[in-house]
Amino acid sequence: MQLTTLQYRIKDENTAKHLNKMAGAVNFVWNYCNEVNYDRWRKFRKTYTAFDLNKKTAGCAKELGLHSQTVQAIAEEYAKCTKQFSKAKLSWRSKNRSLGWIPFKASGVKVQGDTVKYQGKTFRFWLSRPIEGIVRFGSFAQNSKGNWYVNLVIEDADRGRLKTCRKVGIDLGLKTIASLSDGTELSRENLTKKYEHKLAVAQRAGKKKQVKTIHAKIKNKRKDWNHKKTTELVRDYDYIAVGNVSSSKLKKTRMAKSVSDAGWSSFKSMLAYKAVKLGVEVKEVNESFSTVTCSTCGERTGPKGLSNLRIREWICLSCNTSHHRDVNAATNILLSAQGIVRRRESLPL
């Protein structure tokens, strides 16, 4: 059993006022816990447990417009923090110094499609990826720009993935394209390029908030794409081999911008954790020579050097096979992961 947190942006143009109001009530409960706890500490050098605080705050939920389990969750979080930081008094929460936060437990909310219902109010969110599993608990939370999100902590339903018996090698490109050994191409729009102009304009004008928004947008788009593609890969293949793209080396070249835009490291870590969950095998291999080696005969007859990156199609001088550069590289990565070595002499004449 595994818990995963999914985060969705709430369409808060009209609903933020409700969330803001409830966040104020949450702060009230938190500060109350802080007050009574510190009072007890001053008098008796003892602090309250979550259980004590639950008793002290019982019955206030309705009046504050919160679910009773939200009040419990606040008390529990408060007690946890005092223990964790060994403090009898924590920071006060206020509208100005704390980001909005409204915790809840599963029975306090109803999640349906792209909506979450809490305390009789319906909050719509952008369903950026499907919710697969059972909601255990979660929270509404605000980011530094004041936007509201809903965090859902999900217990993965063990759905038993069906074996596909398919293996694949992936060549992670320098730009925004990854090629699979079966010829499929995963391509994403070049976000750095797309927002380059907008970003430059905002930076020149000194619009800090706008710059921040654009950066956040790029980050989110990249993350969503990574999620979507890695989910597809672990669904479709039982065995996945990827190259160890050495981005540090490439960052020194003039490809630097493309390499950091590609962001393959987060792609790879997502792939790895999703694979573990589903029992899919992911292997990372040294990808040196994967581009120049012919995947049919094993001779290094391909185009060499960074300057030859333009060449996408080539024919092996040794065995006459015509190759797509990246598909050939992906095939080599798959072969190498499985320890298969191609030798000219082993080919049938």
Residues that bind Zn ion (CB under 5 A): 294, 296-297, 316, 318-319
How far apart, in whole angstroms, are the C-alpha atoms of residue 225 and residue 141?
23
Q: In the bound complex, what is the minimum distance in angstroms from residue 333's beta carbon to Zn ion?
A: 17
CB neighbour class for 5 (10 Å; exposed up to 12, middle 13-18, buried from 19): exposed
Q: In the bound complex, what is the minimum distance in angstroms from residue 199's beta carbon to Zn ion?
A: 45
How far apart, in whole angstroms, are the C-alpha atoms of residue 170 and residue 180?
5
61 vs 294, which CB is nearer to Zn ion?
Answer: 294
Q: In the bound complex, what is the minimum distance in angstroms from residue 318's beta carbon to Zn ion?
A: 4
CB neighbour class for 19 (10 Å; exposed up to 12, middle 13-18, buried from 19): buried
- Give the amino acid at 16: A
106 vs 319, which CB is nearer to Zn ion?
Answer: 319
The first and second tokens of residue 13, run together, are 């143009």
Strand pairing category for 239-243 and 281-285: parallel
Q: In the bound complex, what is the minimum distance in angstroms from residue 136's beta carbon to Zn ion?
A: 54
In three-state secondary structure terms, 77 is helix
34 vs 332, which CB is nearer to Zn ion?
Answer: 332
**For helices 68-84 and 50-57, what crossing angle results, to 10°?**
140
Q: In the bound complex, what is the minimum distance in angstroms from residue 296's beta carbon to Zn ion?
A: 5
Contacts of residue 40, defined as CB under 8 A and 6 or more positions apart, other chains included, come to 46, 47, 48
250 vs 319, which CB is nearer to Zn ion?
Answer: 319
**H or E stretch including 166?**
none
Contacts of residue 246, defined as CB under 8 A and 6 or more positions apart, other chains included, come to none
Q: In the bound complex, what is the minimum distance in angstroms from residue 322's beta carbon to Zn ion?
A: 10
How far apart, in whole angstroms, are the C-alpha atoms of residue 335 and residue 339?
6
184 vs 318, which CB is nearer to Zn ion?
Answer: 318
226 vs 331, which CB is nearer to Zn ion?
Answer: 331
Contacts of residue 224, defined as CB under 8 A and 6 or more positions apart, other chains included, come to 128, 129
285 vs 294, which CB is nearer to Zn ion?
Answer: 294
Q: In the bound complex, what is the minimum distance in angstroms from residue 347's beta carbon to Zn ion?
A: 9
70 vs 290, which CB is nearer to Zn ion?
Answer: 290
How far apart, in whole angstroms, are the C-alpha atoms of residue 327 and residue 329?
5
Q: In the bound complex, what is the minimum distance in angstroms from residue 170's beta carbon to Zn ion?
A: 21
